[in-house]
Amino acid sequence: MVAGTRLRILAHLSKYYGNFDDKWNIPREQSLPGIAEALGVVRSAVHNPLATLEKDKLVISKNAQVTGKDSRRRKVIHITQLGLETLSEADFPEQIKKIRHFGPIPNSINLHGRDTEVLDISNILKRNKNILLNGLPGIGKSSLARVIAEKMMEEGWTLRWASCNNDTDISAIAKMWLNQSGMYSSKAISAAVDHPRNLLIIDEIQELDNRHINSINQLISDTALTKASILIIVRAPSPFDNLIDFDNIRLEGLLFEGAKKILPSNIDNILATKIIQSLGGHPLALHLWAPDTQLPEENDAVQEYVKSTVIKRLSDEGIKTLDELSLSPLPLNTDELFSSIGIDELDNSAILKWHSKEVELHHLIKNVRRSFFTQEKTQEFHSEMAKKWAKKEGFRAIRMEAHHRLQSGHKIDSDWFISNLPTLVSKDSSAAAIIFEQAIHNSDEEIFREIASDIALERGEIEIASSHINSLSDGINKTKRLARFARISGNARLATELDLKIFNQLNPIEKIKAQITEIVRLHDDRLPGKMPPDLINNLKRKIKLIDISSLPIENRNVASLSVNLLQNSIALETQDLHSAAVSRGILESQLGYDNQKLKIIDLKSRLTIKINDNVSPKAIEDARSEIEKSYNLLNKLSLIHMILEVSGPKYPEWIIQLHSEISEEYLPEDIATYRRLSAQKWYWKGILEPEKKLSHWREALGKFKSAECSNAANELLKLISNLI
């Protein structure tokens, strides 16, 4: 009869039955390291049970490529049909498949010796209390949280799991918790999770960069006031000095009974006691133990054991991979490693921590390995890695190269950072913010502080923006940013004064560009609906003040096109069909009759024309067709918003679905037009998802502010106040 470890191995492998003929992308959970991790035991503890199972033809082994690894193959284990039948006859309790969960949840494992902690912490969380779980690296905090989460999910709780790395910001946590991208308002996020029986977990919170600590601290404070329960996992010391209403629980090493279950079953109690006492019951250290390793003296630091024994036994290839991972700012895909040959050795040594296809070192190992390096050696290594990443393409390569450049000790090449700024900001403003904060610490060039202030303004982080702006030298560049800051802060009077001061210092071309920019912003600074008469008059008055006659011909053409686009938009929104036709004719001569922009203008024109207070079904259908075939996100979203505006309050199901789908697409917010469009998107989400209206509108409020649309923000704030 199959029992014990062999039975648990069969139960684990049964989850992956059916992929025997596959030669590629076999789950790592079917490899020796994956099986051992799932069972919560050392690698050597599964050798004999696997050999017995294979001898009895209950499992079979073969070589195949494992998911998340490069082209090298490794041994994987498959359960056979006979193994399945044996498992069924053993009446092994089938685990409950649960339930509602979001985020990068770690694989489920067998946890040993933590029954008391699981029960105590679960009971505290169920009372709507919050916990800060801390302890040494590798002590088992994440594994404990995973088991607690499983227990609570089985009782009907919804799990929302976020795991932090160096680039994680408030938006990344919202994405993991809610599967909703683009959220930056802590109040909006907290409103979205404000439900009972919601378990919010933030793991590895000590990995956060200082740049994002305050905003995430605010998120924690806001969510702590909700009906949800929060479990924060941190490696001591915590980056948060004082979290109000959080129980602080420290996790210690395992006692004998629990620790013994991690070790091979054939070890007698005398040897097991010696191993456990020498390693202080530290779970990761126990997993790192191998029969041929020398134990440290009792009470020696676990770090010393890792340094003198675990790392020392690695081959040269293993050390190269270890060093690359130890100095990487982020987990890496194995295909990204320049020294990947040692990855199997590290995996078999229990040194790696996997996140789907990405891998990093356990933090205990990383910290110990970094202690080997002198500052000179560390900088030399970063310099070498910067050169290697420079040979790769794409945002990820730029982000990694930037980090290694900044840590190399070399003089900063400001031209390189500035030339790569658009890619960094448009792809990941969180990473860009961190990079330029680090650049400021490494260099006294004012351009870096200007960029850092711009990124903060675009992200709506007014405190950080204020700090950088106040450190700038007096001049027009500082005044421009002060004006933006005033608008975002809602101080319209000061913004107007500063704008006038800036305007008087501009050359003719810059003045006209500034006038047009202001008109576009004023035009967009409102909620959907009929344009107020005073705004219409103000826009028309400002357009008349624009004099492009003195501009060079090439600048005059661009300015004229912008003005005509504005006039056409205002005419359409005010149902001034004569003026719309005139401006449309001019635009055709400027753009060409088959220009895509002109096609969008015509569609919007048709959508504004109503007969018996109804829009033409053919116009809506043509707009739908254009949305579905267009690749231009700006055009698609603006057309969707226009259809929503003319078709309410009974919106067609297809437009609701389209808006929901497009809302998940990445919308870069480093351009003012996109920031305003994003704010409108969140406003409409509140209309279309009334059960989430408060959360969505709070997000829209923050985005209107960062887009410098104070009028729209004030209008929306009144609506939110009425909701509350």
Alpha-carbon torsion, ordered 703, 689, 572, 631, to 10 deg: 80
pLDDT at site 308? 82
N- to C-terminal Cα distance for the chain?
A: 63
Q: Are 693 and 686 in contact (CB under 8 A)?
A: yes
Q: Are 399 and 414 in contact (CB under 8 A)?
A: no
Evaluate if residue 702 carries a pLDDT over 90.
yes
pLDDT tens digits for 90-135?
A: 766 555 454 688 999 988 888 999 999 999 999 999 999 999 999 9
CA neighbor of 324 nearest in space, from 363, 360, 288, 372? 360
134, two tokens? 């801390």
CA neighbor of 245 nearest in space, from 229, 262, 266, 234? 229
Residue 361: strand, helix, or coil: strand
Helices assigned H by DSSP within 279-362: 283-288, 302-305, 316-326, 343-348
52-56, 153-157, 610-614, 682-686, range with the lowest pLDDT: 610-614
CA neighbor of 350 nearest in space, from 67, 12, 46, 64? 46
Which letter, b or e, does each residue of 399-412 get, where b requires 16 or more Cβ atoms within 10 Å of its Cβ? bbbbbbbbbbeeeb
The contacts of residue 619 (CB under 8 Å, 6+ apart) are 603, 606, 607, 609
pLDDT tens digits for 547-606?
A: 988 888 888 888 899 999 999 989 888 888 888 889 989 999 988 888 888 888 888 888
pLDDT at site 98? 46
Evaluate if residue 341 carries a pLDDT over 60.
yes
pLDDT at site 92? 61
Q: Are 352 and 331 in contact (CB under 8 A)?
A: no
User: If pLDDT is split at 50, 70 and 90, which confidence band does 37 have?
Assistant: confident
CA neighbor of 514 nearest in space, from 474, 480, 468? 480
Which amino acid, residue 481? R
pLDDT tens digits for 411-422?
A: 999 999 999 999
In Å, what is the CA distance from 246 to each residue of 128, 268, 603, 614? Answer: 11, 42, 55, 56
pLDDT tens digits for 432-475?
A: 999 999 999 998 899 999 999 999 999 989 999 999 999 999 99
Q: Cα separation of 181 and 662, whole Å?
A: 11
Phi, psi (rounded to 5 degrees) for 615:
-85, 145
Q: Cα separation of 8 and 35, whole Å?
A: 10
Give the number of C-alpha atoms closer than 13 A to the C-alpha of residue 144, restricted to the C-beta side: 31
Residue 476: strand, helix, or coil: helix
Q: Which CATH architecture has domain 4-89?
A: Orthogonal Bundle (1.10)
Give the number of C-alpha atoms closer than 13 A to the C-alpha of residue 202, restricted to the C-beta side: 28
Q: What are the boundaries of each domain within the chain?
A: 4-89, 101-252, 375-472
Alpha-carbon torsion, ordered 344, 345, 348, 354, to 10 deg: -50
Share above pLDDT 90 across residues of the chain, in percent, rounded to a whole number: 59
606, two tokens? 């048709």
Query: Which residue bears the tokens 């779980």?
Result: 133
Evaluate if residue 70 carries a pLDDT over 70.
no
> 358-361 and 352-355: which strand pairing?
antiparallel
Q: Are 219 and 173 in contact (CB under 8 A)?
A: yes
CA 661 to chain centre: 19
Q: Cα separation of 19 and 179, whole Å?
A: 30
DSSP symbol at 459: T
pLDDT tens digits for 386-410?
A: 999 999 999 999 999 999 999 999 9
Q: Which CATH architecture has domain 101-252?
A: 3-Layer(aba) Sandwich (3.40)
266, two tokens? 């054939």
Q: Cα separation of 277 and 260, whole Å?
A: 11
pLDDT tens digits for 145-191?
A: 999 999 999 999 999 999 999 999 999 999 999 988 889 999 999 99
Residue 479 φ/ψ region, left for φ over 0, alpha for ψ in the -120 to 50 degree band, beta for the rest:
alpha
Q: Cα separation of 215 and 650, whole Å?
A: 38
Top-confidence residue, 478 or 72: 478
Helix axes 446-458, 429-442, angle to 10 degrees: 150
Average pLDDT over residues 67-80: 75
Average pLDDT over residues 84-89: 84
Average pLDDT over residues 242-264: 91
Evaluate if residue 249 carries a pLDDT over 90.
yes
Q: Cα separation of 135 and 121, whole Å?
A: 15
Average pLDDT over residues 345-370: 90
DSSP symbol at 78: E
pLDDT tens digits for 298-311?
A: 555 688 888 888 89
DSSP symbol at 178: H
pLDDT at site 125? 97
Evaluate if residue 644 carries a pLDDT over 80.
yes
Evaluate if residue 18 carries a pLDDT over 90.
no
User: If pLDDT is split at 50, 70 and 90, which confidence band does 615 have?
Assistant: confident
User: If pLDDT is split at 50, 70 and 90, which confidence band does 649 have?
Assistant: confident
In Å, what is the CA distance from 275 to each residue of 135, 138, 256? Answer: 21, 17, 10
What is the number of H-type helices and E-type strands within the chain? 36, 13
Residue 587: strand, helix, or coil: helix
Average pLDDT, the chain: 90
**Same fold: 4-89 with 101-252:** no
Residue 509 CB neighbour total at 10 angstroms: 16
pLDDT at site 605? 87
Tell me whether residue 554 is exposed, middle or buried, using C-beta atoms within 10 angstroms of its C-beta: 0 to 12, 13 to 18, 19 or more: exposed
